[in-house]
Every structure is written in structure tokens, then in C-alpha cells.
């Protein structure tokens, strides 16, 4: 491992505080997983700065570069998840670079073995500092089609807004060729798993962002014992209201697509509206609804992710566009990605931006009330200071069938699914 692989800012300034955090968490019996983004970097990253400086530097092939068509247009019809072309023009190299997401997030070229080695070194770097695992971002976006073939149109009946903001043109074409068939990605995941297996009790959860075959991809990445420990897809993060039939269908589809796989379920995350608000239209008792949804999540077969504030039944933050709070929102992505990436209400008074502390006021309607500590009593049980996670989180431990058994829906009656 060298300074060319691990930036100085990571090797020095970031290490002391995170080492302290990890040590204290371990003292308290808490394990620490970090978000690891391997598919792309910032356009300010030293790797990309060097790569875009010319066509002949040591990192010239570390990102996905391509010549334009003869008329100057992008190499193909690939679209960004966040709207527009997946290609951005660079006037220095006189080429396009690929970005599956924002133009400021150029995609790494994982077909390049040097890039793979560098990313494995980054993974090892954090494991050696004591992290207990990773949440691996967009694992099905690691590789692209080397022939740069156009994506075909997606049939109207297969289009949805599960993984892209509603109304974005990417929903019309999908990502079938922008993402390489899973063989190479799975081999890369096996190499990543081999590094993790050198350290005790490490776990990795892979994010699968695909609106059509997310569960199938999750199954491919978690089959066997040599890739991801678990994966999460977007079926329960979709905007559609949750129904008994819908839950039963997702469980059935996952069991069919991934008989050897292991799911990590989530109802909310930073990409979507919090589920208490997303599924709360027409609900009279929001607190009871939040408790029920938490109980359902914790009793699904698989692992679960709890989004910060979910244990309190926190509702969605509605930030104004004016002032510094508004600058945190993306005008195109509002309603999908923009508003979610804000602090927990306890920290809404401060936000560090542009290397200096700036204060701003932004509390959602009802969020201040919801985030205040409350006590409730479960039937026959003790009081807890936060609802309703402490009680239901023990269900899988008390009933091993939730971890080792199989889901079977015996009947659907009205608003109840009997399993």
C-alpha cells in the first residue's frame, strides 16, 4: 500500500477520529460498518485529476473514457440515473467520460486490473483499522459493456420508478448494457470477499440498484459463500403503497430468484421518502402504523437496515428551497434523492459546508415532536425510551425460524397476510 493508492488525507487526518470512534464502539459492544463506494469517485479525486490531464498518463485508463461519434455527440445512448446523458465532455482529453450518476461522479474502469488492485487496497486499509464490514454502493454498476453498445428501449410494462427519480428518461431504456453481465462483477466480488475473509467476523451488504431484476441480481451476488454476505434491492423502497399481497409477492420472488441467497430488507434510506410518510397517506394513527411497519420489517426472513430516525417513527423532512437549507436540495431530484441527505433532527441546527460551520434552521412539520424522546410500554413488557425498535429487535433472536426457516404465505384476507 502506497501513497499513490491511499490519499494522504485518508492516511492521516481521517484516521485518528475514526480509530477513536471504532475503539469506543467496540468497547460498547457495537460493530462499525462503513459505506464504501467503489464504482465511481469525485471529479476532484487525485486519480481523476491525473486521468483527465492527458490520454497518456499512468491513470489515463482508470476511468471510462470514449471518443465521440463523428458528429461530436456522445458514444452511445446510455443515460444517467439522475437525468440526461451518462457521458460528459472533457475539453482537455477531447473525450467523453462516463458517469452513471452525477457528472461530478466519474465511473472507474474496473476492467483495468490496476483499478481493481487499488480498490482492494482501499478495502484492506479500512479493515486493518478495525471496521467490521462494508455497505458496498451500487455493486451492479461496477462494470460496463466494453463494446459500448446502445441500450434497447424498455417495454412500457416493465418501466417503474423503483430506483430512479420519477419522470427521468432512464426509466425508458433501463441499464441492461450500461451494466456488464454479472460474471465479471461477481468475480470482482469474490476477490473482495477473499480480502474480507482474512479478518474475523466481517460482513458486507451490497446495494443492488435495478428496477427490473434487482432480486435476481441479489441472488447472484449472495449465492455460494464467496461473494456478498447479503444484498438489498429496492422492492420495499419503491413509492407504491405496501400491501399484504405485495409483501407476499416480494418474498416469493426472492425465494424463487435467490434460493441460496440472503436478503437485507429496508423500508427507508437516504434515496427515498421515509416510509412513515411514503405509505402514510390516509392513515389515522401514524404511531400505531409506524410500530406495525417496524414489527413487520423485523420479522421478515433476512437481515434488516434501520434508517436513522426510523426507530422513532420519524416523518419526512420538508426543507424550503430558500437559504442554505435549500442549497442542500437538488431541484431535479427533490422527492427522490435530494431531501433525504440531511442530518437527523437532533443535528438540524448545524451543517458543515465548504469547510466552515454554517447554521441554518430546518425542522420538518411534526419532526420536532416526533424526534423528542417518548416512552411507551409494550404488552406485558417494560417501558422503552424510543418506539418500537427495542422490543421487536429481539424477535429474530427469540425465534430462530426467522433466520433459518422459510417464508410461506398460507392465505391473504383483507389487510392481513397469514404466514
Dihedral sign from CA coordinates of 400, 403, 408, 411: positive
- Taking alpha carbons only, the member of 325, 366, 365 closest to residue 342 is 325
Please give the distance of CA 329 from its chain centroid, rounded to a whole number: 18
For residues 217 and 140, what is the distance between their CA atoms, to the nearest angstrom?
Answer: 8
For residues 82 and 337, what is the distance between their CA atoms, to the nearest angstrom?
Answer: 9
Confirm whether 137 is a catalytic residue.
yes
For residues 228 and 220, what is the distance between their CA atoms, to the nearest angstrom?
Answer: 9
The residue whose grid cell reads 475539453 is 91
For residues 78 and 173, what is the distance between their CA atoms, to the nearest angstrom?
Answer: 8
The residue whose grid cell reads 419526512 is 316
- The active-site residue, picked from 24, 67, 198, 383, is 198
Dihedral sign from CA coordinates of 237, 239, 242, 246: negative
- The active-site residue, picked from 137, 145, 287, 351, is 137
Q: Following DSSP, what letter does each residue of 384-395 receive, concatenated?
A: ESSSSHHHHTTH
* Contact in structure between 361 and 326 (CB atoms under 8 Å): no
Dihedral sign from CA coordinates of 158, 161, 167, 173: negative
Q: Return the C-alpha torsion angle 328, 332, 334, 339, nearest 10.
A: -20
Confirm whether 310 is a catalytic residue.
no
With a CB cutoff of 8 Å and minimum separation 6, the contacts of 49 are none
For residues 344 and 186, what is the distance between their CA atoms, to the nearest angstrom?
Answer: 35
| Residue 144 cell numbers, joined | 460496463
How many CA atoms lie less than 13 Å away from 234 in the CB half-sphere?
25
**CB-neighbour burial class of residue 87 (10 A; exposed 0-12, middle 13-18, buried 19+):** buried
For 101, which DSSP code?
S
For residues 396 and 298, what is the distance between their CA atoms, to the nearest angstrom?
Answer: 7
**DSSP bridge pairs for 377:** 383
Instruction: For residue 187, give the H/E element and its range.
Output: helix 182-196
The residue whose grid cell reads 424550503 is 320
Catalytic center residues: 137, 198
Amino acid at each position: 500500500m502506497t501513497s499513490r493508492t491511499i490519499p494522504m488525507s485518508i492516511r492521516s487526518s481521517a484516521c485518528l477520529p475514526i480509530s477513536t470512534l471504532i475503539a469506543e464502539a467496540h468497547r460498547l459492544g457495537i460493530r462499525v460498518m462503513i459505506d464504501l463506494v467503489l464504482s465511481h469517485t469525485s471529479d476532484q479525486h487525485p486519480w481523476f485529476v491525473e486521468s483527465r490531464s492527458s490520454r497518456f498518463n499512468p491513470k489515463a485508463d482508470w476511468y471510462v473514457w470514449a471518443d465521440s461519434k463523428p458528429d461530436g455527440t456522445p458514444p452511445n445512448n446510455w443515460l444517467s440515473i439522475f437525468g440526461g446523458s451518462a457521458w460528459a465532455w472533457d475539453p482537455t482529453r477531447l473525450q467523453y467520460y462516463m458517469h452513471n450518476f452525477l457528472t461530478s461522479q466519474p465511473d472507474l474502469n474496473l476492467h483495468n486490473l490496476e483499478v481493481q488492485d487499488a480498490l482492494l487496497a482501499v478495502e484492506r486499509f479500512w479493515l486493518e483499522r478495525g471496521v467490521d464490514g462494508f455497505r458496498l454502493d451500487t455493486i451492479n454498476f461496477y462494470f460496463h459493456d466494453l463494446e459500448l453498445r446502445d441500450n434497447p428501449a424498455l417495454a412500457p410494462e416493465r418501466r417503474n420508478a423503483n430506483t430512479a427519480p420519477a419522470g427521468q428518461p432512464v426509466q425508458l431504456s433501463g441499464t441492461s448494457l450500461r451494466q456488464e453481465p454479472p460474471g465479471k462483477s461477481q468475480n470482482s466480488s469474490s476477490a473482495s470477499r477473499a480480502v474480507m475473509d482474512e479478518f474475523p467476523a466481517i460482513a458486507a451488504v451490497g446495494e443492488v440498484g435495478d428496477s427490473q431484476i434487482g432480486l435476481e441480481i441479489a441472488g447472484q451476488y449472495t449465492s455460494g459463500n464467496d461473494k456478498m454476505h447479503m444484498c438489498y434491492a429496492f422492492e420495499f423502497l419503491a413509492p407504491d403503497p405496501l400491501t399484504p399481497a405485495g409483501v407476499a409477492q416480494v418474498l416469493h420472488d426472492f425465494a424463487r430468484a435467490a434460493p441460496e441467497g440472503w436478503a437485507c430488507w429496508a423500508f427507508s434510506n437516504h434515496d427515498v421518502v421515509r416510509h412513515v410518510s411514503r405509505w402514510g397517506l390516509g392513515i389515522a394513527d401514524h404511531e400505531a402504523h409506524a410500530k406495525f411497519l417496524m414489527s413487520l420489517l423485523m420479522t421478515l426472513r433476512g437481515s434488516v437496515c434501520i434508517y436513522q430516525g426510523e426507530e422513532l417513527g420519524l416523518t419526512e423532512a420538508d426543507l424550503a428551497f430558500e437559504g442554505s437549507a435549500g442549497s442542500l436540495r437538488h431541484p431535479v431530484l427533490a422527492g427522490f434523492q435530494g431531501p433525504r441527505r440531511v442530518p437527523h433532527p437532533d443535528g438540524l441546527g448545524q451543517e458543515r459546508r465548504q469547510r466552515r460551520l454554517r447554521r441554518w434552521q430546518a425542522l420538518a412539520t411534526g419532526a420536532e415532536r416526533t424526534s423528542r424522546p417518548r416512552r411507551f410500554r409494550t404488552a406485558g413488557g417494560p417501558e422503552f425510551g424510543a418506539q418500537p425498535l427495542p422490543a421487536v429487535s429481539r424477535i429474530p433472536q427469540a425465534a430462530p425460524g426467522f433466520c433459518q426457516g422459510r417464508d410461506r404465505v398460507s392465505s391473504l384476507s383483507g389487510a392481513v397476510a397469514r404466514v
